[in-house]
């Protein structure tokens, strides 16, 4: 968790920066930077910007480019262009001691990511949301190696319900707690308890799978779902284009309150235009209670108080996961989440 915080903390106020606020360069920024393996877009932009989380602006990305950022490779030269009076970063190659923009081919495996992939990958597939009715299509462990009660890494599980033999990698999980919408009290989905990974060894009914990772003890009756490919998405901070009104449904880890670094679930998802990369503000709605001069109970509705920011890193149809980047007070279930 600490690692993902340190990587995404740079995105804190990206959505709060307005077009009217000029970009501020660091003191004595370099004219150019030669990209090396291990660089990220945040790292590179931080060599030029005081607020590196505003890198989409200094690259002057449009809407489509923000969702699919520049492909940058080791050996590229990033140079600072001030020709129109405001800073802009460009890509180029040196030609006769001058930087000349130029297109060329490089192995796609060397592309420079937005943030370190190893920081984000664990959260791309975990935690897992199981929407109502998913149990009808889930495969299940029906027997264990040598009738063991519990399975660990390297053990064999026999699974019923695998109909697609082309799917090799699977997640093993146990149905977890229901996620209730604070507004309607209706169950939106179930947050599954991730147990580990398994790989298909022999298809059939039942199929044989080898447990490749056991984060927790695995037993007969546990469920399996196909593992999504570990694609690193473009985690680019931006404001939502449409109005978002959501509530915090839960704080990951079954805790009652959280703070900066907490992972929260929202009662809005892809169906409500919540997207990966959205930066959202956290608000507290409360009523002050006090006694008047006649010692009578009196209430005063307090204006919604903004106290933090969260960064959406994974979405489902009706649920989104967000990382609390900044919070001046405790994060509580039921708090409001809106456009910044």
Please identify which residue in the block is written with the tokens 């892809």: 270
DSSP string of 258-307, one letter each residue: E-TT-EEEES--GGGT--TTBEEEEEEEEEEEEE-TTS-EEEEEEEEEEE
Distance separating alpha carbons of residues 189 and 135, to the nearest angstrom: 12
Identify the residue with better confidence: 125 or 280.
280
Which residue, among 64, 69, 104, 98, has the nearest Cα to 81 in the 3D structure?
A: 98
Kindly report which listed range (36-50, 267-281, 314-328) carries the lowest average pLDDT score.
36-50
Kindly report which listed range (68-77, 118-127, 157-166, 286-295) carries the lowest average pLDDT score.
118-127
Name the residue ranges covered by the structural domains of the chain: 2-114, 123-226, 245-338
Cα 4 to chain centroid, rounded:
9
Which residue, among 142, 179, 146, 174, has the nearest Cα to 161 in the 3D structure?
A: 142
Which residue, among 45, 53, 115, has the nearest Cα to 87 in the 3D structure?
A: 45
Is residue 22 predicted with pLDDT exceeding 50? yes
Give the pLDDT confidence score for residue 136 in this predicted structure. 63
Give pTM, 2 decimals.
Answer: 0.63
Please identify which residue in the block is written with the tokens 């695995």: 218
Cα 153 to chain centroid, rounded:
27
Residue 9 pLDDT level (bands cut at 50, 70, 90)? very low
Strands across the sheet containing 77-81: 32-34, 77-81, 88-95, 98-100
Residue range 82-102, pLDDT digits in tens: 888 888 888 775 545 454 444
| Architecture of domain 245-338 in this structure | Beta Barrel (2.40)
Alpha-carbon distances of 32 from 48, 77, 299, rounded to whole Å: 9, 7, 60
DSSP string of 99-114, one letter each residue: EE-------GGGPBPS
Residue 3 pLDDT level (bands cut at 50, 70, 90)? very low
Is residue 279 predicted with pLDDT exceeding 70? yes
* Cα atoms in the 13 Å half-sphere on the side-chain side of 286: 9
Residue 165 pLDDT level (bands cut at 50, 70, 90)? confident
Mean pLDDT computed over 111-123: 52
Give the pLDDT confidence score for residue 243 in this predicted structure. 94
Mean pLDDT computed over 55-64: 72
Kindly report which listed range (32-41, 262-271, 292-301) carries the lowest average pLDDT score.
292-301
Identify the residue with better confidence: 227 or 168.
168
Judged by DSSP in three states, 167 sits in coil
Judged by DSSP in three states, 16 sits in helix
Residue 335 pLDDT level (bands cut at 50, 70, 90)? very high
Residue range 172-205, pLDDT digits in tens: 988 777 888 888 888 888 888 888 899 999 999 9
Considering the chain, what percentage of its residues have pLDDT values greater than 90? 25
Which residue, among 221, 201, 244, has the nearest Cα to 135 in the 3D structure?
A: 221
């Amino acid at each position: 968790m600490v690692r993902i915080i340190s990587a995404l903390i740079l995105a804190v106020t990206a959505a709060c920066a307005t077009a009217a606020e000029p970009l501020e360069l660091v003191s004595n920024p370099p004219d150019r930077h030669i990209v090396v393996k291990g660089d990220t877009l945040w790292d590179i932009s931080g060599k030029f910007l005081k607020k590196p989380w505003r890198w989409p602006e200094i690259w002057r990305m449009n809407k489509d480019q923000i969702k699919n950022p520049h492909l940058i490779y080791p050996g590229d030269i990033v140079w600072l262009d001030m020709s129109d009076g405001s800073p802009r970063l460009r890509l180029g190659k040196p030609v006769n001691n001058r930087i000349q923009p130029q297109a060329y081919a490089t192995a796609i495996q060397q592309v420079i990511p937005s943030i370190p992939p190893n920081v984000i990958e664990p959260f791309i597939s975990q935690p897992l949301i199981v929407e109502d009715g998913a149990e009808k299509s889930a495969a299940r462990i029906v027997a264990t190696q040598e009738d063991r009660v519990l399975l660990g890494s390297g053990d064999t599980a026999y699974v019923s319900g695998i109909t697609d033999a082309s799917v090799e990698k699977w997640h093993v999980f146990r149905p977890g707690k229901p996620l209730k919408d604070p507004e309607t009290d209706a169950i939106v989905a179930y947050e599954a308890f991730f147990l580990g990974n398994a790989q298909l060894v022999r298809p059939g009914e039942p199929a044989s799978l080898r447990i490749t990772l056991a984060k927790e003890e695995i037993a007969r009756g546990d469920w399996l779902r196909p593992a999504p490919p570990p694609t690193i998405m473009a985690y680019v901070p931006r404001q939502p284009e449409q109005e978002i009104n959501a509530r915090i449904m839960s704080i990951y880890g079954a805790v009652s309150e959280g703070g900066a670094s907490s992972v929260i679930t929202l009662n809005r998802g892809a169906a409500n235009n919540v997207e990966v990369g959205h930066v959202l503000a956290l608000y507290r709605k409360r009523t002050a209670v006090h006694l008047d001069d006649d010692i009578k109970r009196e209430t005063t509705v307090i204006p919604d108080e903004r106290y933090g920011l969260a960064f959406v890193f994974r979405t489902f149809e009706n649920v989104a996961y967000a990382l609390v980047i900044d919070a001046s007070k405790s994060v509580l279930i039921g708090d409001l989440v809106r456009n910044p």
